[in-house]
Amino acid sequence: MTVYVGKDKLDMAAAAAKMAGDRIRAAIEARGEARIIVATGASQFEFLEALVKEPGIDWTKVTGFHLDEYVGIPVTHKASFCGYMRERFVAKTPQPLKVFNEVNGEAPDADAEIDRLEKLLRVAPIDVACVGIGENGHLAFNDPPCDIDTNRAYKVVPLDDKCRMQQVGEGWFATKDDVPTHAFSMSMKQILWAKCIVCTCPDSRKAEAVKGALEGPVTTMLPSSFLQLHPDCGMFLDPPSAALLKNA
């Protein structure tokens, strides 16, 4: 794992976007296309803004997927990750993406929605997974203890209290009771199967999780710790999120 501590959020985001951009450009050059996973949340604002400005990417050759979506939430809700992706990524690339595969949080049949997404993912490997870490150490909505064994691409998972309070703290919902109790989440294995993982994680509220992810044991009680096992993972931090690291 490569760890980069930027001088601030913007520096961190630019470095993360450069790594992701390099992998996207390389995939397009090698195979004529790139397949990427993109995360949402407050931690990804600066990263996505930098990624869409990366030079030399033919976005018409990029297929995108997103990590997760709340069960039962309409795309018009301010917390909808589909809405977030449309506004902050899909609408901002200089050229239209080849396709962006959304998770339908209002799908009437969750199993059928997972089957649909899994078929799309299995067409070819993912070149780059752009992710973040939650305050409880989750990846996507894989809260601790995470399921590291399933081979399914997505699952419907319960959201723990700390995860739900993070959504309140970031301003997406007014109270914990307003936060859905379940979400569609890309599975741990599916994330870790990506050829490259770019993890962008700013802010002091993530410092404890970052310390565990980078310096603690690999454990299902801290899902992001499994990033230690990935052969091509970049961890991008700002000074507040890196504050508890021994070697930052």
Domains of the chain and CATH, by start: 2-237 (3.40.50.1360)
CA-derived radius of gyration, the chain: 17
Q: What is the pTM of this model?
A: 0.93
Name the one residue in this structure whose structure tokens are 């305050």.
135
Cα 246 to Cα 137, 211, 216, 242, 243: the distances in Å are 18, 8, 11, 9, 8
pLDDT average per 10 residues of sequence, the chain (248 residues): 96 98 98 96 93 98 95 91 94 97 94 96 96 93 93 92 87 90 94 98 95 96 96 97 89
